[in-house]
Structure 1
Amino acid sequence: MSELAVDVVTISPVVVPASVDAPDARVFVEMVRIANAVCLHDAGHDYLREEPEEMLGMWQDQADWTQLGFAALRGETVLGVVKMLISNQPDASTIEFDLMVDPPHRGQGLDKPLLAEVEREARERGISTIQTWTLHRPDAVGDRLEPPTGWGSIPDDAEARLQQANGFTLEQVERNSVFDLTGDPSPVERMLHDAEATAGEDYRSVTWTSPTPPEYVEGFAYALSRMSTDTPQGGLVVDEQRWDAARVERRDARLKAQGLTVSVAAVLHVPTGRVAAYNELAIADDPAGATQQFGTLVVKEHRGHRLGTIVKCANLLRWRTIAPQSPRVSTFNAEENRHMLDINEAIGFVPASYAGAWKKVLEA
């Protein structure tokens, strides 16, 4: 295709509508459609699919994160979009974004005006680092790119070359793994039994379906706060997130607004009462859709007791009663997070796609 004729393309802010049926919701709904089309095209599967109501519920809650987007339009046709996520904490130092060009319109230079909006937003906010992700199929052939971590690789394909041409550096590779929920659960049951025997009496398993029960809110807030500090980040910039009970309650309300059913399996450290490990599984309104694994974390000081195996296995077994029609669970892990990948592989997760994490530091 030829280069984009910029004079026929308009870059417009994405309006956050009151509902997906509102008169001004068309561009927002198109943004969701394009996001799903990009995931299907680049990853080769639809396990990452989102519904418009799901994304809208997230965007309508701007208490802890600012979410905004811009669309590239030719007439009434939405050709591509960029959506940004910015922490509302005063020390925020990075913007995370997804720049998505509808696959039939790639190669027309649409990335440039959309990326310009991200850089403009960053400079106006005094933020120097912007970060994004690309998706890649597991069976891609040809030259490979490796991050400085030395763990994993992605194909040096058109999307990767586009990131490099725009001044980004590959900082980390994540593996997208899936688990077949239709198989025999007995191996997972055995793993759970063995792990609980290893953990000992200082640890106690609990489960709940969102919202978080009042007796666990404070402990869960502590564990959620550690997600930004206790997981491998490669060369990415990750702002430490501060959580309290009120933020957990806001999050629970947002998950409800998104139409999500969320199951949490956690391990409590009995002497302190804190949540030492947790795993979250979530599904939207389609009972036969793919399940998404949200956070999984074992707090650093509690590692070495097989708590990761406990929360993963306990939640997978519980999930069969909550979403029995869901065929699979999809999750992401950094390739250098070998301990968690070992657990996944032992349970039966297999690679479905890969993600490259990219960073650009803007010139002053």
Structure 2
Amino acid sequence: MIKQIDLQDDTALRQAHEALERSSAVDRPWFEPTPYDEWVADVRFVEPEERFELWGAWEDDSVVGAAMVWLPDADNTWMLWTELDVHPDHRGRGHGTGLVEQMVSRARDEKRTTVLTEFRVPQKDFENHPYRRFALARGFEPGWVENVRHMPLPVSEELLTRHGDASAKAAEAYDVKLFAGDVPDEYVQGLCDLYNLLGVDAPSGVVEFEPETMTPKRVRDFWALQREQGRTRLFALAIDRETGAVAAHSDLVVPPPPSTQVWQWGTYVHRDHRGHRLGMAVKVANLRRLQEEFPGRTLVRTSNADNNAYMVAINEDLGFEIVEKGVAMRLPVAAAE
């Protein structure tokens, strides 16, 4: 049975969280689970410009699979984004198919023309992985592929100095400023402008995104949520010294203990400021601060499209290694007759 989960129902939410975490850990020895309290804060976060729903696959009155659903209402309103997981002990019983069918139904209800999803698979022979075969059999089409990379910490000072010095020389017309948790008012709109363009400029195969509509209030609400979860967001911004424009950013998110990992949540250089090695400059500055303030962390996780040559080169120069593939797929949805 497929039905929507009440976001105030702790019993159902804990079962859904267990199914999601167990599913996400398959074939991923480095997987680090998200504690329930952190996860449920995300689930219950109210975002006026993007609705969230949680749908469960139920078996014997328990949730054994779940689809998280995001419905953007301020931009890219043609899409329904979902992440779908079934507990490994309950696969092969039609729960995944039932969740996909429900996502198609919701897309039609909302007059969305595309369901988008993404999943992680081992790098080797990812095209024949059961997850991809499952999606293809249910009408999904290839979207884009990302390289998911890890970089062991700490990064050597010699490497940081070498790349830091080279990028500083190329970016001599810019200042790199570091912040934690929040960003001063004078830079927030410029940072929003970068966030809004990231999805447009990032390679996304046959899927075309329009600019997002992130505003200072929206990002500050997200940052406040992360602080409540015990997460520390580290910002590195490249500022054009002449105009004061925010030209580039790199964000790292440090989850609270017992986590030992760090998440790279975006690096982007504005199209008007490329060619000055700003991507490397902000990444190096943020990594230096990370290692000074969080010395016990073991690795940084990041991902980027496999055909994003510029960011691939930066990540490889810094020592990021591919550990798996992120496969994005789309399902065209015909309007209900």
TM range, normalised to the smaller chain? over 0.9
Rounded to whole Å, the distance in 2 between the matches of 1:92 and 1:39 is: 28
2, 21, 24: which one aligns with 1:11: 2
2:34 is the counterpart of 1:50: yes
Rounded to whole Å, the distance in 2 between the matches of 1:313 and 1:248 is: 24
Cα offset, 1:241, TM superposition: 0.6
2:166 is the counterpart of 1:175: no
2:284 is the counterpart of 1:313: yes
Cα offset, 1:363, TM superposition: 1.8
Cα offset, 1:218, TM superposition: 1.9
Cα offset, 1:61, TM superposition: 2.5
282, 297, 300: which one aligns with 2:271: 300
The 3 A distance-change label for structure 1 pair 328 and 91 is: closer
Cα offset, 1:287, TM superposition: 4.9
After the TM superposition, which residues 1-364 of structure 1 pair with which residues of structure 2 at under 5 Å, given as runs?
10-17=1-8, 24-47=9-32, 49-59=33-43, 60-89=45-74, 92-138=77-123, 140-141=124-125, 154-201=126-173, 203-364=174-335
Counterpart code for 1:160: R
Cα offset, 1:67, TM superposition: 1.1
Counterpart code for 1:259: G
Q: CA contact under 8 A between 2:108 and 2:334: conserved in structure 1?
A: no
TM-score w.r.t. length of structure 1: 0.87
The 3 A distance-change label for structure 1 pair 33 and 272 is: farther
Counterpart code for 1:285: P
Q: CA contact under 8 A between 1:222 and 1:274: conserved in structure 2?
A: no
Secondary structure at the residue paired with 2:199? coil
Cα offset, 1:237, TM superposition: 4.0
Query: What do residues 199-228 of structure 1 show as CA deviations (whole Å, max 9, x unaligned)?
Result: 122x11001001222222122122212212
Counterpart code for 1:315: N
Please report the RMSD computed on the Cα atoms of aligned residues, expressed in angstroms.
1.7
Is there any run of 5+ residues in structure 1 with no aligned partner, and where?
1-9, 18-23, 142-153
Secondary structure at the residue paired with 2:47? coil
Counterpart code for 1:191: H
TM-score w.r.t. length of structure 2: 0.94
Rounded to whole Å, the distance in 2 between the matches of 1:345 and 1:31 is: 36
Rounded to whole Å, the distance in 2 between the matches of 1:44 and 1:316 is: 24
Cα offset, 1:234, TM superposition: 1.3
Is there any run of 5+ residues in structure 2 with no aligned partner, and where?
none
Secondary structure at the residue paired with 2:183? coil
Rounded to whole Å, the distance in 2 between the matches of 1:114 and 1:176 is: 26
Q: CA contact under 8 A between 2:252 and 2:265: conserved in structure 1?
A: yes
Q: CA contact under 8 A between 1:191 and 1:309: conserved in structure 2?
A: yes
Secondary structure at the residue paired with 1:317? helix
Rounded to whole Å, the distance in 2 between the matches of 1:239 and 1:53 is: 33
Q: CA contact under 8 A between 1:94 and 1:239: conserved in structure 2?
A: no
